[in-house]
Structure 1
Amino acid sequence: MAVLANLDRKTRYSLLAGLALQAAAVIGLISFFGAREGTGPRQESGPDSWDVALQSVRFDSVEEVERLFARLSYHWPLAEGSLVPRIAIDPLPGDYQPDLEVSRKKALFFRAMLPLALAENGEIRKQREFVKRVRDRAGAPLDARSRERLRLLFGQYRVEMTEDLTAAIDALLQRMDEIPPALLLAQAANESAWGTSRFARLANNLFGQWTWRDGQGIVPLERPEGESYAVRKFPSLRASVRDYIHNLNIGHAYEELRALRSRQRQAGQPLDALALAAGLTRYSQRGEAYVDEIRSIIRGNRLEVLADVGLAPPGAQVAVSDGDPVRSTGG
């Protein structure tokens, strides 16, 4: 029995009408190739929020970041099963430039990006756990708070909330899922030149996301005449990571990736970054060559090990030297 059937008619129609209005309000242009404009899930607050907070630390120099990593025994490459400190080096230090020695650049970039990826996946994991609990209790009445949270998730992931709530939730779960850190880090490295590109530095844009909204982006120097898009500005690197994940989760161009991921879930397998890369042929005009490039980055940097790492337990503050500006943030 569907959960919606337990609601009175007025509440049920109000819930569905609200979702329809929210979906109708979503307006955007979609590019066949490349990353498109997306709107990541809203961040909630409170004891039962989805938020996975990181301690944000800002440094002026690569050397300062490396010293912090050393104090935390946060080394690269990571060992299988490692726990990653809950820190966000966001933005990257001012002297992090293209001419930095390659091994140092890669080690810093991967260690800076990994907590962001794990935190965003952690928030999605919380969302999935909540939605699965609703599905498993099909037939039980929902309180007002749970109904509102569910309605927002359906709207954010652009899934129709039908009378058959169990089937609707299954469709939602196919979209509302994690992106393996190995795949995320490989694409971030490729799209942002290891975080040194103009758009990474000036717009916190790691994945080439576009926007058509005035004042919200940077115009590419080589934008074709007649085009109106810009490269989107983000308030933080983590916001770019969040938008990238959401783009893969809702974009029409990435239906194949979501289908591959769903099959891995149904088979009880861990998410395989190398296999899921096959769903990225429409992320770039290079198509299969782009997929090969992403897989090469994953293999060449042994990123597969990231499937078995996680964030350190919450609560402990990172010890930094006197004068280092530190703040905790959910993104």
Structure 2
Amino acid sequence: MRTIIYFFICLGIFLVSCKKVSTFRQISIKPQYALIETKDDIHTITDSTVVPYIYTKVISLRNLEVDEKKQKFVEMLLPSILVAQHSLSQKISRIEHIENWLQKNPSMLKTDSLFICQLFDTYNCKEIQELKIRLKPHPVSIVLGQAALESGWGSSRFLKDGNNIFGIWSYNSDENRIKALVGRDSTSIYVKSYASIEDSVKDYFETIARVDAYQKFRQERFESDNPFILIPLLNRYSELGDTYTRKLKEIVESNNLTKYDFYVIGSEYFVEKEIKLSEMFLKE
């Protein structure tokens, strides 16, 4: 039903046309895909410039010593977080490009209209400003902290068997998923299975962006990048509520995860492409 509504919204956008051309500079990342068979397959991160290794197969870090487990966990996960953040930032840049276009032109280009409408559908909203709020990524330190909590620093079966870092549940039998060993009230529980660590991180960001429970978090995130202001607003992420956010804050502080908020993908892995947007629906 929601898809039908968005179709008619988009149809209204398409009614007027013009003959101008818009150019958008898209910057993508060229990832380096890899498998982890042993701990030594996790590429070391030596400074704040990161190689975008995307791991499609991982191992449990359960048997490593605590300090090594934590370091390997960060090195395994950090590149995917940075890649996912970049993808979201590029979507916001494209939206701002569209906004600038509309300030000077009476209509939206066909390709831009499709882009916006697809995002409206994915992120469950109808306004461009709200879409930007939902898309804005939050600091790496929060993502790492939640990932550590949910996976036991890379020890969970869901991570090893399905690249599921955050324990995100599956409610759709058509999805790739894993059955939990323990259900709830005689009901089976399933979690999603992903093709890569990156896919798990992307779905986590999308979950935060879509679910009503995180509305206050999203609004504050749009105004602030301070993880210690944002963390208390994630109290609905877990049934533990404020106990969960206290644990999350402790993990971020005690492991100095905020230092990773300033890490970046190496510039040599960026690919810039100029996209000319000129196709339109014509008014009949």
Q: TM-score, length-normalised on structure 2?
A: 0.81
1:15-34, aligned counterparts within 5 Å? 16=9
Q: Given the alignment, which residue of 260, 268, 274 partners 2:220? A: 260
CA contact (8 A) 1:86 1:314 kept: no
Other-structure match for 2:274:
none
Q: Deviations over 1:34-73 (max 9, x none)?
A: xxxxxxxxxxxxx9767533101223211343xx42xxxx
Matches of 2:226 and 2:108, distance apart in 1? 35
Matches of 2:209 and 2:128, distance apart in 1? 15
Q: Given the alignment, which residue of 265, 276, 279 partners 1:311? A: 265
- Within the alignment, does 1:294 sit opposite 2:248 as a pair? yes
Other-structure match for 1:8:
none
Other-structure match for 2:206:
246
Other-structure match for 2:119:
153
Matches of 1:15 and 1:136, distance apart in 2? 24
CA contact (8 A) 1:50 1:127 kept: no
Other-structure match for 1:22:
none
Structure 1 SS opposite 2:172: coil
Other-structure match for 1:39:
none
Other-structure match for 1:132:
96
Matches of 1:224 and 1:14, distance apart in 2? 38
CA contact (8 A) 1:50 1:124 kept: no
- Within the alignment, does 1:276 sit opposite 2:213 as a pair? no
Q: Given the alignment, which residue of 30, 45, 48 partners 1:53? A: 30
Cα offset for 1:18?
5.9
Matches of 2:36 and 2:82, distance apart in 1? 21
Q: Given the alignment, which residue of 68, 74, 95 partners 1:110? A: 74
Other-structure match for 2:170:
211
Other-structure match for 1:197:
156
Structure 1 SS opposite 2:32: strand
Matches of 1:136 and 1:244, distance apart in 2? 30
Other-structure match for 1:224:
184
Q: Given the alignment, which residue of 221, 231, 236 partners 2:196? A: 236
- Within the alignment, does 1:87 sit opposite 2:50 as a pair? no
Matches of 2:135 and 2:232, distance apart in 1? 19
Matches of 1:98 and 1:62, distance apart in 2? 11
With a CA cutoff of 8 Å and minimum separation of 6, indicate the structure with the bigger relative contact order. 2
**Amino acid in the other structure paired with 2:108:** L
CA contact (8 A) 1:212 1:228 kept: no
Matches of 1:18 and 1:289, distance apart in 2? 47
Q: TM-score, length-normalised on structure 1?
A: 0.70
CA contact (8 A) 2:165 2:200 kept: yes
Matches of 1:147 and 1:64, distance apart in 2? 43
Matches of 1:196 and 1:14, distance apart in 2? 43
**Amino acid in the other structure paired with 1:114:** L
Matches of 2:262 and 2:162, distance apart in 1? 31
Q: Deviations over 1:80-129 (max 9, x none)?
A: xx21112123322x4x4312111111111101111100000000100001
**Amino acid in the other structure paired with 2:35:** R
Matches of 2:233 and 2:249, distance apart in 1? 12
CA contact (8 A) 1:118 1:310 kept: yes
Structure 2 SS opposite 1:57: strand
Q: Which structure's residues are more often strand, by fraction?
A: 2
Unaligned runs of 5+ in 1: 1-12, 20-46, 161-167, 265-270, 317-331
Structure 2 SS opposite 1:213: coil
Matches of 1:50 and 1:194, distance apart in 2? 32
Q: 1:234 to 1:49 in 2, by over 3 A?
A: farther
Structure 2 SS opposite 1:210: coil
RMSD: 2.3
Matches of 1:231 and 1:112, distance apart in 2? 21
Cα offset for 1:227?
2.3
CA contact (8 A) 1:257 1:279 kept: yes
Structure 1 vs Structure 2: percent identity of aligned residues?
A: 24
Runs of 4+ in 1 over 6 A off after TM superposition: 47-50
